[in-house]
Amino acid sequence: MAAKQNKPSKWKIFTAGIIRENPVLRLVLGCCSALAITTTVSGALGMGLSMTFVLVCSNIVISALRKAIPDKVHLPCYIVIIAAFVTVVQMVLQAYVPDLYESLGVFLALIVVNCIILGRAEMFACKHTVVESALDGLGMGLGYILTMLCMSSIREILGNGSWLGIQIIPESVDRMGIMNQAPGGFFVFGCLMALCIFIEKKTNHPIERKSCGDVMLDTIDAAKAENGADTAKGGDQA
């Protein structure tokens, strides 16, 4: 009974990834694509929608198969499932939106090993129901899209004087060319991170931040612990 009372509602699961546990600004995951693709709003929106599709679909499949996937090979199985949906996205974009496909480049294929997707598969989807996993993936995806839109809007307006290709700042006004380069991406990312930390301190809701490496190390440690338990069990039986 206590476990049911402490279980978060579906609404909390959905909204957690949008703001409170935003994957990029609060959990600091998936930063590579967030820094590289946010020079234009169109590219950021395309990347965000692609990520969300893969995240939701992979969460659903992994949750549905969580009892059938062996613990010793669960990570390779997750990668195969994620890669299948990434391939679908690549084929659709290449066929119907070739310009977007070319602009996303290698980062589209790198969705396969994106720490947001692997992290949610390892931390959430393999432990919860299909509906809860779908809501978690959708919430995390929306949080990722909002972050990408915020960063790309700032960089495109200041760097190109336009938003989604629509000219906003007159041609006579000088552009901030650095916003189209890596330093501009880091600057905007740092400002948004600082804003989130400020809000976090005001609301008193601290979040444990984990890098991509931390997520992968947690996965490896969990696998080692499971293998150790299996070895000990086998020794006892012998």
Do 112 and 79 meet the contact criterion of CB atoms below 8 Å apart? yes
- 57 inside domain: yes
- 6 inside domain: no
- 211 inside domain: no
Cα–Cα distances (Å) from 139 to 80, 117, 134, 191, 225, in that order, read 23, 12, 9, 23, 30
- 221 inside domain: no
- 214 inside domain: no
Quote the tokens at residue 234. Answer: 């086998």
- 228 inside domain: no
Note down the domain range covering 125: 12-167+174-205
Quote the tokens at residue 157. Answer: 């307006």
Helix (H) or strand (E) segment spanning residue 67: none
Whether pLDDT at 224 is above 80:
no
DSSP strand pairing (162-163 vs 166-167): antiparallel
- 4 inside domain: no
CA distance 26 to 6: 23
Q: What is the mean pLDDT of residues 139-144?
A: 94
Q: What percent of the chain has pLDDT over 90?
A: 45
94-116 pLDDT, tens digit per residue, is 999 999 999 898 899 999 988 89
- The 8 Å CB, 24+ separation contacts for 229-232 are 230/72
- 42 inside domain: yes
Quote the tokens at residue 193. Answer: 């991170």
pLDDT higher at 222 or 150? 150
30-79 pLDDT, tens digit per residue, is 888 889 899 999 999 999 999 999 999 999 999 999 999 888 888 999 99
Q: What is the band of 2 on the pLDDT scale with cuts at 50, 70, 90?
A: very low
Number of domains within the chain: 1
Please tell me the least confidently modeled range out of 5-9, 145-149, 206-210.
206-210
Largest Cα–Cα distance of the chain, in whole Å?
Answer: 81
183-194 pLDDT, tens digit per residue, is 999 999 999 999
